[in-house]
């Protein structure tokens, strides 16, 4: 049976490939170029493609590293560096002859594997120095980034919901919420106090000190009937210019006692109506 040769020399001294069957091409998957070429480089992918071409039953044998380096137009030292990188990335497994196998001049055995589908961050840091980018970045999905953003927003929402009462946005920034109700109440109290002070100033001018002995008026009689007259009289006896505020407080306490005793009714006398 005649042997069929696929390669024939041409008349010009070249080489020609001829076949009558379907060509079994070596095809490197697209993801290898996209993901791994930025890591290993185009030279390493070219060497890996040569190994895929030369493999028989998953292994490359019967050819020396010097012959491979010469065919790839690179030096033996660079070929060894590429082999180490391909083995580290999981493309191949290299077994060098030792002992008796080396004495018998056995060649290095290279096992071929499909390139991994995932690039580890350690390889990116080692070979790309934080400058890794896909060959085809437009095919990169943003799903992982979107999920991360969604998770971060969920955490932020949970943080804001920890204190449902009050202004959660202000609490999230570590600020003290403004108590508008308390401020309004304090302002109203201050306004009421000013109004009472004005009424006291009108009834008892600062320049006119009340006499030490005087006939009880309608206010004094009404307070005395309800248990507050003695408190007012004691305050009047101790009255002077420096004790004006104390005097007004004592009178106010007497008025409160009167209102509590009478069921908080509306004053009927002219003096109380004016003070009211």
pLDDT digits (tens, 9 = 90+) for 238-249: 555 556 667 677
HSE on the CB side for 188, CA within 13 Å?
Answer: 6
> For residue 133, what are its two tokens?
């980018």
Distance between start and end Cα atoms, the chain: 133
Tokens 């908080």 belong to residue: 264
Three-class secondary structure of residue 16 per DSSP: strand
Where a domain ends, among 81, 103, 138? 138
Task: Identify whether 177 is part of a domain.
Answer: no
Domain CATH number, residue 84 = 1.10.10.10
- Residue range of the domain that includes 110: 27-138
Instruction: Indicate whether 125 belongs to any domain.
Output: yes
How far is C-alpha 246 from the chain's CA centre?
58
Co-location of 122 and 214 in the same domain: no
List the structure tokens of 16.
């020609």
Which residue has better confidence, 11 or 178?
A: 11
Indicate whether 217 belongs to any domain: yes
Whole-angstrom Cα distance, residue 132 to residue 122? 12
Rounded Cα distance between 188 and 182, Å, is: 10
Asked whether residue 178 is domain-assigned, the answer is no
Domain membership flag for residue 251? yes
Structure tokens at 205: 């001018």
Based on the structure, what is the number of domains in the chain? 2
Among the candidates 113, 138, 163, a domain finishes at 138
Does 2 fall in a domain? Answer: no
Domain membership of residue 215 (yes or no) is yes
Decide: helix, strand or coil at residue 265. coil
Q: Are residues 112 and 212 in the same domain?
A: no
Tell me the sheet residues that pair with 17: 7
**What are 61-113's pLDDT values in tens digits?**
778 889 999 999 999 999 999 999 999 999 999 988 888 877 887 778 889 99
């Amino acid at each position: 049976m005649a042997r069929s040769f696929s390669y024939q020399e041409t008349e010009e001294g070249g080489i020609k490939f001829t076949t009558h069957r379907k060509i079994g091409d070596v095809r490197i998957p697209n993801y290898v170029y996209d993901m791994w070429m930025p890591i290993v480089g185009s030279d390493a992918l070219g060497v890996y493609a040569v190994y895929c071409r030369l493999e028989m039953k998953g292994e490359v044998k019967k050819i020396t590293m010097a012959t491979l380096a010469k065919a790839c137009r690179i030096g033996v030292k660079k070929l060894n560096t590429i082999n180490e990188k391909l083995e580290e990335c999981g493309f191949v497994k290299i077994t060098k002859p030792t002992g008796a196998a080396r004495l018998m001049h056995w060649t290095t055995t290279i096992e071929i594997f499909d390139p991994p589908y995932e690039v580890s961050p350690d390889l990116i840091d080692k070979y790309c120095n934080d400058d890794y980018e896909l060959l085809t970045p437009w095919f990169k999905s943003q799903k992982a980034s979107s999920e991360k953003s969604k998770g971060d927003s969920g955490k932020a929402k949970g943080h804001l919901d920890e204190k449902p009462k009050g202004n959660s946005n202000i609490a999230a920034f570590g600020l003290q919420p403004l108590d508008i109700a308390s401020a309004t109440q304090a302002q109203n109290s201050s306004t009421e106090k000013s109004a009472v002070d004005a009424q006291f100033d009108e009834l008892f001018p600062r320049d006119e000190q009340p006499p030490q002995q005087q006939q009880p008026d309608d206010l004094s009689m009404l307070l005395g009937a309800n248990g507050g007259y003695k408190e007012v009289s004691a305050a009047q006896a101790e009255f002077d210019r420096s004790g004006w505020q104390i005097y007004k407080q004592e009178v106010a306490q007497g008025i409160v006692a009167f209102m509590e005793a009478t069921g908080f009714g509306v004053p009927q006398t002219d003096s109380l109506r004016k003070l009211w």
